[in-house]
């Protein structure tokens, strides 16, 4: 009996040791982001390339409907500022809603968080990005990531005429260290000509006393959404907020841990529209999407990720982009949870 008990105990210890060793090995395997390479990104991209067939390119803004659904790109800026690229990394697309996080940073830097969020909420939402939500009830936008809140945010940036837009553009150029970035005039004109829903939000907020200016302020919002960049630029933006507003090359001119925390918390709460809750569960990283097909991702203290694929899911998020991010997160255990 003692012999059997001893054998049973020894067997149990061996199994426990084996499982423990495998757990450690698995943890090391998933956590070792130093092994990340362009080949890794390429493998993930190829695995998910076909998702474009299940999505749809945004066409409610006519110019966006001209994007090639097959285009796809994947970029990472690692902890040391090293850039890894694969796919159509030179393909330009418009920021759209991703510009909202830049405008929010500028508005809060100028006006202070309390003054900005006195006029809107920190809330998430189960409603689409262009929903009027509670503008007709409380009169305030739910958050700065939905269109109403973003239009208000841009209107809070100081300056006459297109000065607020130029501040957003200059900040994008600074963060990406890419002075050639500009906005697409054709996309801007297309957004302005068809943006009646956004115009309705603008005038509702003006009626509620949140906005005092004229449609120049709305034009600035349309222009910021029309800024063109690449997946690599998005990875640099993700890196910037992941590292307390320090640029990928170490430039710390705008270093501000509090602003970075605010932006990342809003990205996590509402950055993927009404899909944000499920996205937080599956990916678990601050992210911001745009209907141009891009998603920027911040891995706090570690890296920035940028993806591009213009075929969108029903929420307005890049379908292949989401799956590329999800695979990378799982492979390297990047979730903050």
Establish whether 203 is a catalytic residue. no
| Of 291, 299, 307, 329, catalytic | 291
Establish whether 100 is a catalytic residue. yes
Count Cβ atoms below 10 Å from residue 78 Cβ, excluding itself: 18
3-state secondary structure the chain: CHHHHHHHHHHHHHHHHHHHHHHHHHHHHHHCHHHCCHHHHHHHHHHHHHHHHHCEECCCCHHHHHCCCCCCEEEEECCCCCEEEEECCCCCEECHHHHHHHHHHHHHHHHCHHHHHCCCCCCCCCCCCCCCCCCCCCCCCCCCCCHHHHHHHHHHCCCCCCHHHHHHHHHHHHHHCCCCCCECHHHHHHHHHHCHHHHHHHHHHHHCCCCCCCCHHHHHHHHHHCEEECHHHHHHHHHHHHCCCCCCCCCCCCCCHHHHHHHHHHHHHHCCHHHHHHHHHHCCCCEEECCCCEEEEEECCCEEEEEECCEECCCCCEHHHHHHHHHHHHHHCCCCC
22 marked as binding residue: no
Establish whether 221 is a catalytic residue. yes
| Of 76, 77, 89, 100, catalytic | 100
Q: What are phi and psi of 145, to 5 degrees?
A: -95, -25
> How far apart (Å, rounded) are the C-alpha atoms in residues 309 and 322?
9
| Of 52, 183, 221, 279, catalytic | 221
183 marked as binding residue: no
Establish whether 291 is a catalytic residue. yes
| Of 51, 52, 57, 97, catalytic | 97
198 marked as binding residue: yes
147 marked as binding residue: yes
| Of 273, 279, 322, 332, catalytic | 273
> How far apart (Å, rounded) are the C-alpha atoms in residues 104 and 151?
10
291 marked as binding residue: yes
> How far apart (Å, rounded) are the C-alpha atoms in residues 16 and 291?
49
287 marked as binding residue: no
Q: Which residues are catalytic?
A: 97, 100, 221, 273, 291
Sequence ranges of the binding site: 97, 147, 191, 198, 221, 273, 291
Sequence ranges of the binding site for substrate: 97, 147, 191, 198, 221, 273, 291
């Amino acid at each position: 009996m003692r012999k059997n008990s001893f054998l049973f105990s020894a067997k149990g210890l061996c199994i426990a040791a084996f499982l423990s060793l495998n757990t450690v090995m698995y943890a090391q395997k998933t956590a070792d982001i130093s092994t990340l390479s362009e080949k890794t990104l390429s493998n993930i991209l190829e695995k998910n390339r076909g998702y474009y067939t299940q999505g749809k390119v945004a066409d409610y803004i006519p110019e966006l409907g001209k994007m090639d659904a097959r285009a796809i790109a994947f970029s990472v800026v690692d902890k040391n500022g090293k850039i890894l690229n694969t796919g159509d990394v030179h393909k330009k697309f418009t920021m759209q809603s991703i510009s909202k996080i830049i405008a929010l940073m500028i508005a809060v830097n100028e006006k202070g968080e309390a003054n900005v969020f006195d006029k809107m909420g920190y809330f998430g939402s189960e409603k689409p990005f262009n929903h009027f939500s509670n503008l007709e009830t409380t009169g305030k936008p739910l958050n700065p990531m939905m269109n109403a809140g973003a239009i208000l945010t841009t209107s809070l940036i100081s300056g006459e005429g297109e000065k607020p837009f130029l501040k957003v553009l200059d900040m994008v150029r600074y963060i990406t260290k890419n002075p050639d970035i500009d906005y697409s005039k054709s996309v801007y004109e297309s957004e302005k000509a068809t943006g009646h829903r956004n115009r309705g939000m603008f005038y509702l907020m003006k009626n509620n006393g949140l906005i005092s200016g004229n449609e120049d302020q709305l034009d600035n919002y349309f222009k910021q959404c029309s800024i063109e960049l690449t997946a690599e630029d998005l990875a640099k933006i993700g890196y910037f907020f992941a590292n307390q507003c320090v640029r990928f090359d170490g430039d710390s001119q705008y270093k501000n841990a509090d602003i970075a925390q605010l932006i990342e918390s809003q990205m996590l709460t509402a950055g993927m529209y009404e899909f944000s809750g499920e996205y937080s569960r599956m990916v678990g990283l601050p992210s911001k999407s745009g209907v141009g097909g891009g998603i920027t991702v911040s891995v706090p203290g570690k890296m920035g990720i940028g993806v591009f694929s213009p075929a969108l899911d029903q929420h307005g998020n890049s379908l292949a982009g989401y799956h590329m991010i999800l695979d990378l997160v799982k492979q390297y255990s990047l979730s903050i949870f």
